[in-house]
Amino acid sequence: MLEIKDLHASINGKEILKGINLTVKSGEVHAIMGPNGSGKSTLSNVLVGHPAYEVTKGTVTFGGKDLLAMSPADRSHEGLFLSFQYPVEIPGVSMVNFMRTAVNEQRKYKGLPALTAGEFLKLMRQKREVVELDSKLANRSVNEGFSGGEKKRNEIFQMAMLEPKLSILDETDSGLDIDALRIVAEGVNKLKTPETSCIVITHYQRLLDYIKPDVVHVLYKGRIVKTAGPELALELEEKGYDWIKKELGE
Amino acid sequence: MKAEQQYIDLFTQCEALVCRKSAEVLNAPRAKAFADFERLGFPTRKDEKYRYTDVDKYFAPDYGLNLNRLEFPVNPYEVFKCDVPNMSTSLYFVVNDSFDKHVHPSAKLPEGVLFGSLKDIAAEHPELVRKYYGKLADTSKDAVTALNTMFAQDGVLMYVPKNTVVERPVQLVNILRADVNFMVNRRILIVLEEGAQARLLVCDHAMDEVNFLSTQVVEVFAGENSVFDLYELEETHNSTVRFNNLYVKQEANSNVLLNGITLHNGTTRNTVEVQLSGRGAEVSLCGMAIADKNEQVDNHTFIDHQVPDCTSNELFKYVLDGQAVGAFAGKVLVREGAQHTSSRQTNRNLCATREARMYTQPQLEIYADDVKCSHGATVGQLDEDALFYMQQRGISLKEARLLLMFAFVNEVVDHIRMDALKDRLHLLVEKRFRGELSKCRGCAICK
């Protein structure tokens, strides 16, 4: 589904990613862990095409297509979704209007007719239940005045609406209390199918208790330095990153 | 030769004609207006009040005038396709500066309410018009007002007697129609007596691809406890120049809403002066401009808190694209003794390109000590983070920009107290941003 080869990327001329290689197959859940500043968020931003980052080397194919050649919107239409670490507030743009535009642009891309107002509202109602999102929030401006937990739930709600093939959860657990974490994680699990994949970026094991990874990677100084099964996350939780740095001879 | 000379010459030569084709009450102040105009001359950009609009430049070219009051062979009901349909208004037209005699079947007004040709009503009810005409529009202070007073021969009068409520909004469509470069001098006088209520929507359209220069002076007298809404919607074209001077005087506990929306224009200068003269008077003064190419929009406002317990709320928003230039200068004066004044002024602007320019100048002058006054002005760009967030959800950059721009100006639209107009404006604003309003929609020619 996703194949990253020797990916280098920089921001303001500073190289952050220094040769990432990663393959995610359909139905797989990958966890990416690593100390602060190792390039985890950069990786997710580069994949969704954030204009601040420049890809200097390497290739990324997504569903057999050249991902890096696509506009951010087309990457989304092709089925790539990022749950933002810091969801953006958009005053004056209602959730309904925002989501309707997003869903219908995706449908247009796929050659499907736009949803009618009635169909759309029905879809919103159904998907809201996935993350128990209050109907009041759905009527407000995008993320405006939402609590930290509500913002993250809103991300998963949008994921439910857009039904992506590959979702990247960028520190979706940060700022969540235990209940909100459970609701968000259950939401992600409900949306899981054998055809969809997930990359979970996190510092902590606790999210991985709910969303079970098939593979765990450690990103350090812009490279994936270790890849193993789910037991690696537990080991990191217990011992931190120093032992990995030692293995690397630092 | 300076630009004012041709108007001085014209008036000297044609004064008798101007007067003959107008009404006595309108003729009375012409001589003083002329003297004031000769003395003042057009303001230059050194004049604080006209810093952002080069008046001379717009008045210098040669324009035709219709001092002879020839009728233009146009039936507005046939050529005008209203952009605000199904709104159930009492609809009237002014073609250039003449009130149109065709009365639309939709026009229905309560008994005692007058709405019609200023010239005709001034002849029928001279005592009524004399009491108000020219009493707010001081010719000694503004050359454009002086010029308008010299040449204005007709326009519109709206009179709502005591305790009369005009439920149905009144819509006035100004149509500019000419085959040569053309100047119009239009006059509007609005009187609401004690307890009267009315809403007026004024739409500006230009039907021909010639250069138009219009001056319009509007005087509004809002009596005690009266409620009045004035919406002005400009949808003209790039070779239209509009100078609009609006003077408002509010008595005790009156409530006035002024909302000026520039959707499409050439050069627009709106001057608004509001006197809050009676305790408890409240004014909402809103404005919005969407401009691109070389369009210019200059709003100059002055709110004069003369007595205690008055409230003013001001909100102006601009979206400037292309090489558009916007200006907002808003002065609020709180006079000595005007205690418990509450005044808020906000001006927010978006510059969508590097070439677009916005000048903003808030000004507060306060001579009372127990007041609540605030002002704020910002000039910025669209939120990059929000744009990217929307693109990640599959919304194209173009569409994301549009959504943000709608959100930005809709705050002004939401102040409108007429639901049908509000809905319509949401749509018009969307069309405007999508570039579907690049020409006047009412236009018979540029369809």
The string of pLDDT tens digits covering residues B347-393 is 999 998 889 999 999 999 999 999 999 999 999 988 999 999 999 99
Q: Does A108 touch chain B (CB under 8 A)?
A: no
Instruction: With residue A223 as reference, give the H or E element that holds it.
Output: strand A223-228
A153 burial class (0-12, 13-18, 19+ CB within 10 angstroms)?
buried
Do B389 and A88 count as a contact with CB atoms less than 8 A apart?
yes
Model confidence pLDDT, tens digit, residues B4-47: 999 999 999 999 999 999 999 999 999 999 999 999 999 998 88
Work out the mean pLDDT of chain B and round it to a whole number: 91
Q: In degrees, to the nearest 5, what angle opens at C-alpha B247 toward C-alphas B241 and B248?
A: 140
Chain B's closest residue to A103, CA to CA, is: B394
User: Which of B395, B406, B407 lies closest to A73 in CB terms?
Assistant: B395
**In chain B, what are the helix, strand and coil shares in percent, each to the nearest 5?**
25, 40, 40
* Range of lowest pLDDT (A116-125, A236-245, B216-225, B435-444): B435-444
pLDDT at residue B79 is higher than 70: no
**Comparison of pLDDT for A52 and B105, the residue scoring more:** A52
In this prediction, the answer to ipTM > 0.90 reads: yes
Residues of B whose CB is below 8 A from A72: 388, 391-392, 397
* Token pair listed for A200: 């979970």
B403 and A97 within 8 Å at the Cβ level: the answer is yes
Q: How many domains does chain B have?
A: 1
What's the confidence (pLDDT) of residue B330? Answer: 96
Look at the block and give the residue holding tokens 């094991």. Answer: A205
pLDDT along chain A (250 residues), means of 10: 95 94 95 91 95 95 96 96 95 92 96 94 90 81 90 93 95 85 89 93 87 92 92 88 84
Domain containing B424: what range? 3-319+381-446
CB B218 within 8 A of CB B245: yes
Judge whether B404 lies within some domain: yes
- Which position has the token pair 């239009």? B186
Set of chain A residues whose Cβ sits within 8 Å of the Cβ of B393: 76, 98-99, 102, 158, 162
Of the pLDDT bands very low, low, confident and very high (cuts 50, 70, 90), residue B198 is: very high
- Say what the pLDDT of residue A201 is: 94
pLDDT digits (tens, 9 = 90+) for B311-356: 999 999 999 989 999 999 999 999 999 999 999 999 999 998 889 9
Mean pLDDT, range B132-156, rounded to an integer: 97
Query: Considering only B173-177, B313-317, B420-424, which range has the smallest mean pLDDT?
Result: B420-424
B388 and A72 within 8 Å at the Cβ level: the answer is yes
In a domain, B289, yes or no: yes
Rg over alpha carbons for chain A, rounded to the nearest Å, is 18
HSE value, Cβ hemisphere, 13 Å, CA-based, for B229: 19
Residue A205 near chain B (CB below 8 Å): no
- The per-type count for chain B, helices as H runs and strands as E runs, is 11, 19
Q: CB B230: neighbour CB atoms within 10 A?
A: 23
Strand pairing report for A2-11 and A14-24? antiparallel
**What is the phi-psi region of residue A19: left when phi exceeds 0, alpha when psi lies from -120 to 50, beta otherwise?**
left
B127 within domain boundaries: yes
- Which residue do the tokens 């107290």 mark? B417
Please check whether residue B403 lies inside any domain of the structure.
yes
Inside any domain, residue B57:
yes
On whether residue B155 sits in a domain, the answer given is: yes
Are the Cβ atoms of A92 and B408 closer than 8 angstroms? yes
Task: Look at residue B176 and give its three-state secondary structure.
Answer: strand
In a domain, B270, yes or no: yes
The whole-number pLDDT of residue B352 equals 85
pLDDT at A180: 85
Q: For residue B17, give Cα distances in angstroms to A2, A98, B4, B13, B31.
A: 83, 60, 20, 9, 14
Q: Alpha-carbon distance B125 to B114, whole Å?
A: 10
How confident is the model over A10-60, as pLDDT tens digits?
999 999 999 999 999 999 999 999 988 899 999 999 999 999 999 999 999
CA separation for the pair B92, B127 (Å, rounded): 24
| Selection from B316, B319, B320 nearest residue B329 by Cα | B316
Whether residues A102 and B407 touch (CB distance < 8 A) is answered with no
Q: What is the pLDDT of residue B445?
A: 36
In a domain, B372, yes or no: no
